[in-house]
A and B are shown apart, each in its own frame.
Chain A
């Protein structure tokens, strides 16, 4: 579903954000991408949305090579890739319903589709009773649920989340994770960039660890550090495992 082939991204100021990353995520997988700030998680997500282009390497999304994709196709790529951010990015002057409906309206879906899909997805995220509230009247967890609803309402093949729980308390974060897990069980591929160790440990799903732009670990049912008890492992050892 997502494939990075030897991808390198260097920013104009010389920072190497991503270095020779090769990664394969299958359809229906649930993957955590972990690592400290500046390890290249966000750059990877931006490249998947084609907001950035890599300097070397190739990327496939849903069977389509996206680096040489013509510009006019990019919106159609993004319709297949839902995305959620730490800061929610909701429109403050639109209600919950309107925020979610907006995502369908701007890709030209007819009214009838909007009127059936939006209540369904609001039900899924547990906000059916708040459809007419403004984002400012909601808690942080609820706002993130609206953002997830907006990302998922179009039934994308892939759902990306960039630090989705960065602004939330642990209890609320678990709720968000459960929601993402439910979405994953509908067959949607879910990839979450996070540095929330407790959540990663709690979920026990595939973990890809990035450090300074390189993949240093890729574990099928991993935790945030190598082992919860021993904490982070010396770098040399990680390098061996990662290669």
Chain B
């Protein structure tokens, strides 16, 4: 099937130019919807990055009652040390916790605390975030234990917020993608309709279906490609903006923790472009089908 590249390029450009308003509409819709898809992807990867960062620093803290006997403390310590899913347990004496509290609490609250009422604690690092839960359920009722604390619930709340945001992004993006597909389909259909005489002559003199189809498909492809390129640029810009907002002096801010690597950003942009190309060619292929059926 000898279809010259020269012919396709020529036909595609004249078609795009002839329907330029529809082309612009289709390209913009693709751009907006794919930018949303890209943003959702960024958010997801950022959340994964931040989550692993948070998990590294998580500790589960078993606070003993102020009046717990030394044997009770020793029992809890030895049991914690034997657990397979926690490691690096350390014992914080009442004096050490008291000094820590002085650093962390505001003066007004700290005055309510005395060395005697300050609990001693054992702090361990769980292998996984979920293991903190196991520690809590196991030791909460142990004699001499006051309470078990971990930042787990806070992290969970954050993750949930992010996943809800993600779903909102993805579903809006899907609706927009669908409309972008329909717009491209419609643009191509109009292009073919405007040229149905030409198409019928082509069929009459024996042009193959692929020969007729290719210029129109490449038209949809170009629309998808331009739209997704714009979307990729938006995603890149968004990433740069967030990076510039993340203050390097505060490595513990959420934005810094969500920071993406170059590879992650690149692959996100690749995915965005691929979706755009896919939507463009599928839309146009669907538009042509009806006209070729003679």
- Evaluate contact between A150 and B205: CB separation under 8 angstroms: yes
Q: Which one of B4, B198, B203, B294 contacts A91 once the chains associate, using CB atoms below 8 Å?
A: B198
Task: Assess whether A108 is in contact with B201, with CB atoms less than 8 Å apart.
Answer: no
Chain B facing A: main interface SS = helix
Q: Does A89 contact B2, Cβ atoms closer than 8 Å?
A: no
Interface readout for A58-86 with B: 1 if CB under 8 Å, 0 if not?
00000000000000100111111011000
Contact-residue size bin, chain A (C-beta under 8 Å from the other chain) = 20 to 34
Closest to A153 in B: B205
Stretch at the interface among B44-52, B171-179, B207-215: B207-215
Q: Min CB distance, B3 to chain A, in Å?
A: 6
**Could you tell me if A106 and B211 are in contact, using CB atoms closer than 8 angstroms?**
yes
Q: A108-B1, A108-B4, A108-B211 are in contact. Are A102 and B201 (CB under 8 A)?
A: yes
B206 interface hit (Cβ, 8 Å)? yes
Instruction: List 16 other contacts, CB 8 Å, given A102-B201, A108-B2.
Output: A78-B204, A78-B205, A79-B206, A83-B204, A89-B197, A89-B200, A91-B197, A91-B198, A102-B202, A103-B205, A106-B205, A107-B207, A107-B208, A107-B211, A108-B3, A108-B4
A91 to B201, CA, bound (A): 8
Binding site for A on B (CB under 8 A): 1-4, 7, 197-198, 200-209, 211-212, 294
Which chain A residues lie closer than 8 Å to B2 at the CB level? Answer: 108
B204-A154 in contact (CB<8A): no
Q: Which residues of the other chain, B, contact A154 by a CB distance below 8 angstroms?
A: 205-206
* Chain A 100-111 per-residue mask, 1 if CB under 8 angstroms from chain B, else 0: 001101111000
Contact residues in B for A102 (Cβ distance below 8 Å): 201-202, 205
Contact A89 B201 (CB under 8 A): yes
Q: List 10 A-B contacts (CB under 8 A).
A: A49-B204, A72-B209, A75-B203, A83-B204, A91-B197, A106-B207, A106-B211, A107-B205, A107-B206, A150-B205
Question: CA–CA, A134 to B3, complex, Å?
Answer: 26
Q: Smallest CB-CB separation from A105: which chain B residue?
A: B7
The verdict on A78 contacting B206 (CB below 8 Å), with A51-B294, A89-B201 known, is yes
5 nearest A-B pairs in the assembled complex, by CB-CB distance:
A79-B206, A78-B206, A106-B207, A108-B2, A103-B205
A50–B22 Cα distance when bound, in Å, is 35
- Partner of A76 from B3, B202, B206 at Cβ < 8 Å: B206
Give Cα A151 to B2, complex, Å. Answer: 21
Contact with B along A119-154 (1 / 0, CB 8 A): 000000000000000000000000000000011001
Which of A49, A75, A77, A151 makes the CB contact (< 8 A) with B207?
A75
Measured CB to CB, the nearest residue on chain B to A103 is B205
Q: A102-B201, A105-B7, A108-B3 are contacts. A75–B208 as well, Cβ < 8 Å?
A: yes
A72: chain B residues at CB < 8 Å are 208-209
* Closest Cβ neighbor of A85 among chain B residues: B204
Which residues in A have their C-beta under 8 angstroms from that of B207? 75, 106-107
Residues of B within 8 A of A105 (CB): 7
Chain A positions within 8 Å of B202 at CB level = 102, 106
Q: Enumerate chain B residues within 8 angstroms of A103, measured Cβ to Cβ.
A: 201, 205
Establish whether residues A79 and B4, one from each chain, have CB atoms under 8 Å apart when the complex forms: no
Q: Once bound together, how far apart are the Cα atoms of A219 and B197, in whole Å?
A: 37
Q: Which residue of A lies closest to B7 (CB)?
A: A105
Closest Cβ of chain B to A111, distance in Å, is: 9
Cβ-closest chain B residue relative to A82:
B205
- Known A-B contacts A83-B204, A89-B197; the reply to A75 vs B209 at CB < 8 A is yes
Give the nearest-CB partner of A80 in chain B. Answer: B206
In the bound complex, what is the Cα–Cα distance between A102 and B197 (angstroms)?
13
Chain B residues whose CB sits within 8 angstroms of the CB of A108 once the complex forms: 1-4, 211
**Central interface residue in A51, A75, A89, A154, by most chain B CB within 10 Å:** A75
A78 to B1, CA, bound (A): 16
Residues in A neighbouring B212, C-beta threshold 8 A: 106
User: How far, in Å, is A52 (CB) from chain B's closest CB?
Assistant: 10
CB contacts (< 8 Å) of A76 on chain B: these are: 206
Task: Return chain B residues, CB-CB under 8 Å to A78.
Answer: 203-206
Q: Residue on A with the closest CB to B4?
A: A108
Residue among A79, A106, A108, A154 with the highest chain B CB neighbour number at 10 A = A106
A contact residues around B7 at 8 Å (CB):
105
